[in-house]
């Protein structure tokens, strides 16, 4: 069995342990397994392919430096995604991106949106159109939507990562969904 085949059969935890000993082939296998999800997460959060590439590169370099601190208490994927989110948020802070705060009343005309509803039949949402619509959201809504609905983090985790209250996270998620629905309906 070749080294590559052995690596392919190994768990993330085993590969992380090997990479922590300096095994770059094991690290490459981890990269092959996870780079698309890390890049997709970065791309959806920053909505810019060049920045997303830079961030993905930085995340994996940072991952290699810190991989020895992975103890296997959580899934490797969760650990890596958390590291990625923190890195993107750090990037936002450096760039001075403001994650907008929402009020209880909100600025989206929800009632009007309901009236403009497209009927009761379920509608197939084009995934590519949804991806494009996500990129058009303001950064704060986009972050909450990507973290909660795309990545599956809970509101407590989202609030913790973004430094907002759980109430704000929930409120921003609802507004993000309503804005997305609006954007998707406009494209039909």
Residues at the site binding other proteins, with contacts judged by CB under 8 A: 22, 24, 27-28, 31, 35-37, 39-40, 43-44, 49-50, 52-54, 56-58, 60-62, 64-65, 94, 106, 110-111, 113-115, 117-125, 127-128, 130-131, 145, 149-150, 152, 155, 170, 173-174, 177-178, 180-181, 184
Helices (H), the chain: 3-9, 12-20, 24-46, 49-66, 76-95, 110-115, 127-135, 139-145, 155-162, 166-187
Instruction: Select 24 or 165, whichever has its Cβ closest to other proteins.
Output: 24
Q: Residue 34 is encoded by which pair of tokens?
A: 């996870």
Instruction: Select 99 or 148, whichever has its Cβ closest to other proteins.
Output: 148
Instruction: Select 100 or 149, whichever has its Cβ closest to other proteins.
Output: 149
Instruction: Select 27 or 76, whichever has its Cβ closest to other proteins.
Output: 27
CB of 60 to other proteins, least distance (A): 5
Residue 16: CB partners within 8 Å, gap ≥ 6? 26, 30, 67, 70, 72, 76
- Helix (H), strand (E) at residue 132: helix 127-135
């Amino acid at each position: 069995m070749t080294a590559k085949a052995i690596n392919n059969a190994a768990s993330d935890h085993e590969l992380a342990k090997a990479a922590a000993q300096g095994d770059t082939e094991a690290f490459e296998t981890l990269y092959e397994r996870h780079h698309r999800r890390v890049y997709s997460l970065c791309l959806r959060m920053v909505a810019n392919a060049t920045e997303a590439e830079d961030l993905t590169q930085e995340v994996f370099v940072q991952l290699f430096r810190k991989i020895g601190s992975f103890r296997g208490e959580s899934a490797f994927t969760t650990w890596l995604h958390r590291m990625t989110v923190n890195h993107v948020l750090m990037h936002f802070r450096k760039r001075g991106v403001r994650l907008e705060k929402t009020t209880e009343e909100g600025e989206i005309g929800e009632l009007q949106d309901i009236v403009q509803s497209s009927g009761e039949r379920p509608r197939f949402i084009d995934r590519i159109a949804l991806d494009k619509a996500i990129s058009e959201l303001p950064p704060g809504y986009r972050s909450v939507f990507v973290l909660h609905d795309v990545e599956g983090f809970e509101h407590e985790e989202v609030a913790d990562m973004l430094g907002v209250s759980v109430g704000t996270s929930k409120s921003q998620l609802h507004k993000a969904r309503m804005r997305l629905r609006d954007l998707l309906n406009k494209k039909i």
